[in-house]
Amino acid sequence: MSDRTTREFVAKRTDLNNNIIAFDIRGLTPERVDRNQYVPNAQAILERMISEVKGERHKDTANFSDAVTFSFPTIKQHDILITLNFWNAFALYLDDFLDKKTHDQAHHVALWKTYMINRVSTGTDFMDIMYNVLSILLDNVFTPKLRQLHDQWYLDWLSLYDITEEVKVGKDIPTFEQYDNIRPLDIGFPPLQIYLYASLGFDPDDYPDIINNPNWELFHKWAGRHFYHSNDIYSSKKEIMQQQGKFTLIYIIMYNDNCDAQTASDKVVAMIHESWDMSVKYATLLAELNIPVLNEYTHAVMCILKGNVYWSSVTPRYQDMNKYKDYKLGDKLIFD
């Protein structure tokens, strides 16, 4: 690795970090939610599965499993929830793995695109083995159509890296509108819908009254916003500690509105409340179609939103900043 390249990369990422981190979260009280009751041993199963991939004992110290069990209390099928739990851990690891890269990031992004297209990795590292296990699980719980939707999302997500990395190093800071278009895809909201489709046996394309109703798109637009608004306000300090603080809603507002971090944080809290209210509004309007499976689906999405807020407010991934005090770009990622 080129030391000069890394030093320049770090310098671009760390500019203004002290200013970005100077905020408290005010006016947001997460509602405690219960874990999924249908698969009560989900975390133990995840730890066992990852241990088998690693070849050594793994402990879910970041509570990745809770991100799923708090957010998906409605999934009853054991195989679907276990696959979702394993997928969530893989997605977070892959994101962290790619974010660690500096001068060779484009190479790894291209490599993972190839793996996703072929649905198999030819590598031998932890991430490669984990993906190959995941790929088999996905085929077992998804229809071919849902698997294709999932894989297309991953390709779209990987294609965002060129854009998001420019933002993270302080180049081409987007407007709020541009960020709002990118972030729901980047944060992985669409694949969560796919797991609900699988769980409910629900294909909205079978219901012209749904897909032709403007409230269907508006419901997802506002729900996606709530998901990333909530994530961004809780994860911002972690992103800053990892020298990526410019690709957060806090900084986007600071930059575009010329305000301090506390003012930006207060605005994000107001946006979280607004996006929740709007999600409820469009779920209520969709209920007028009187389609039972649609009502189950919108209820499940609202559970995702509530679970995401609660998990984000308690997970060590976002709340324990000591985890990142020695973080260095380019270092090998420890999958803990």
CB atoms within 10 A of CB 213: 19
pLDDT < 70 regions, the chain: 1-18, 102, 165-171, 241-246, 320-336
Q: Identify the DSSP state of 146.
A: H
Instruction: Report pLDDT digits (tens) over 250-279.
Output: 888 988 899 988 999 999 999 999 999 999
Closest among 240, 94, 238, 223 to 161, alpha carbons compared? 94
Contact 228, 189 (CB under 8 A): yes
- Using CA atoms, how far apart are residues 118 and 67, in angstroms rounded to an integer? 28
* Domains along the sequence of the chain with CATH: 40-324 (1.10.600.10)
If you compute the radius of gyration of the chain from its CA atoms, what whole number of angstroms results?
20
Given this model, what pLDDT does residue 322 score? 55
One-letter amino acid of 217: E
Backbone torsions φ then ψ of 201, nearest 5 degrees: 60, 40
Given this model, what pLDDT does residue 153 score? 95
Report pTM: 0.88
Which element (helix H / strand E) includes 173? none
Closest among 100, 3, 73 to 307, alpha carbons compared? 73
Given this model, what pLDDT does residue 163 score? 75
Let me know the angle formed at the C-alpha of 43 by 101 and 57, rounded to the nearest 5 degrees.
65
Instruction: Report pLDDT digits (tens) over 2-46.
Output: 343 434 433 343 445 557 777 889 999 999 999 999 999 999 999
